[in-house]
Structure 1
Amino acid sequence: MDTEILNIFDENRKQIGVASREEVHQKGHWHETFHCWFVSRKNDQDYIYFQYRSKDKKDYPGLLDITAAGHLMSHESVMDGMREVEEELGIQVDFADLVPLGIIEYIAEKENFIDKELAHVFLYHSDHTLDEFRPQLEEVTGIYRIALADFYELWFEGREHIEAEGFQVENDERITSAITVGKEDFVPHEDYYYRRVLHSIREMEREHAD
């Protein structure tokens, strides 16, 4: 696999050079990513979609995460981030149908890993059924949707468990299921990030319903 080269930035979001993905996470350089959240509205209920990360992933294996996301290479534009949607989910989406939330600074740290992202975050109102998703199994082995109100209660109001409905692919077989999840089952994004995303989803779905 070719070394992935990313643009790196200072604290003022000014580009200061390029670095390999490995170096970016070792030294904690700011770099650009693309985040796309699928949302839907059904029976007056808003839903948010999560990918289930492959258990073979190096980082955060077997956890629920942003519907589709990835790094932007040094030669790519933000629009090029759309490849993540098609590659990870097997869904074709028009960039013009995305709702931009702007750039959200996002930091996550663990041992020997510092992730400082300038995340270009988008929402997409999806009318796709779960059957239409064709995840890239090396990266994503399932898709789940969760009622927005339930997820908010889990993350911010002390609720311990909520239900997620969707599917996983095991041994080339798609298995539909409802699972019970807690905070420990999600990639640990910071609270301010989720607050901004969830508030924007509520606004978007309200406008979509009008």
Structure 2
Amino acid sequence: MADHELLDIYDEQDQHIGVCPRSEVHRVGHWHHTFHCWLVRDTEAGRMLVFQQRQHNKDTFPDLYDITAAGHLLAGETVEQAVRELEEELGVPLRFDQLTPLFITRDGWEFESPSGTLIDREVSSVFGACSPLTLQQYELQADEVAGVFEAPLSQMLEMFHGERASVTATGVYGQPAEAPAGDLPYVHVEVTVEQFVPQSPGYYEKTCTLLQQLSPLE
């Protein structure tokens, strides 16, 4: 169970102070480290931003759109090892040296969940990478990811800047048992800022701007 995972915890100066179960980390509000990785795909129509939709039964932010792949660093785990999140959630076997570091952000907030008030204080290392995969080629982790979507990166930046109300995204939902691999139907949805997991002010704009500068996949 995720709530029983052990996480390293830190003080206000980001000095390691111990290890704690994930449920306790969020109940008390200990600082901890997380890994964020955003994927983009270059197409004839331009660069696309890839993002996931969280499962409806997630304890935090169910059904909202989110970072392509992300997760907590487990106790003793390095950020280099946290690249495992890409393969676990999406079936993408990228190596850490194929990722481009974008920035580190430090944020804390409180929110209500089915289990009560949670206090989330994270130091997040944010990365980007180009992926050649089409949406149908991702292998979604059934208990974490409901679907995977992509939309023009330039339009997503405009939306996060407040210059447009929504963007049309194309996506696929998780692999039904009876569906042949690579034969999932595409869906088209209108996405808005309010449908994304809340992040610190400027997070999405900064991410999209830096992803525009990412070198194409060689």
TM-score (structure 2 length as normaliser): 0.88
Query: How far off is 1:44 after superposition?
Result: 5.7
Amino acid at match of 1:48: L
Per-residue CA deviations over 1:147-170 (Å, capped at 9, x if unaligned) read 112112222224222101111137
Asked whether the equivalents of residues 40 and 47 of structure 1 are also in contact (C-alpha less than 8 Å), the reply is yes
Aligned to 1:46: 47
Of 192, 213, 216, the match for 1:208: 216
Aligned to 2:147: 142
* Cα distance in structure 2, aligned partners of 1:170 and 1:38: 20
Aligned-residue CA RMSD (Å): 2.0
Query: How far off is 1:209 after superposition?
Result: 8.6
Query: How far off is 1:4 after superposition?
Result: 1.0
* Cα distance in structure 2, aligned partners of 1:77 and 1:209: 25
Aligned to 2:125: 120
Cα distance, 1:170–1:55 mapped onto 2, change above 3 Å: farther
Aligned to 2:191: 181
Aligned to 1:151: 156
Query: How far off is 1:15 after superposition?
Result: 1.1
* Cα distance in structure 2, aligned partners of 1:106 and 1:46: 29
* Cα distance in structure 1, aligned partners of 2:91 and 2:26: 28
Pair 1:11-2:16 in alignment: no
Query: Is the partner of 1:178 in helix, strand or coil?
Result: strand
For structure 1, the 5+ residue unaligned runs are none
How many residues align? The count is 208
Matched-pair identity in %: 37
Aligned to 1:87: 88
The aligned runs of 1:151-170 (5 Å cut-off) are: 151-169=156-174
Aligned to 1:58: 59
Amino acid at match of 1:120: S
Asked whether the equivalents of residues 157 and 209 of structure 2 are also in contact (C-alpha less than 8 Å), the reply is no
Asked whether the equivalents of residues 169 and 175 of structure 1 are also in contact (C-alpha less than 8 Å), the reply is no
- Divergent runs of 4+, >6 A: none
Cα distance, 1:161–1:79 mapped onto 2, change above 3 Å: same
Query: Is the partner of 2:27 in helix, strand or coil?
Result: helix
Cα distance, 1:57–1:175 mapped onto 2, change above 3 Å: farther
* Cα distance in structure 1, aligned partners of 2:16 and 2:217: 40
Amino acid at match of 2:160: W
Per-residue CA deviations over 1:48-97 (Å, capped at 9, x if unaligned) read 11111111211111111000000011121112212211110012112111
Amino acid at match of 1:62: D
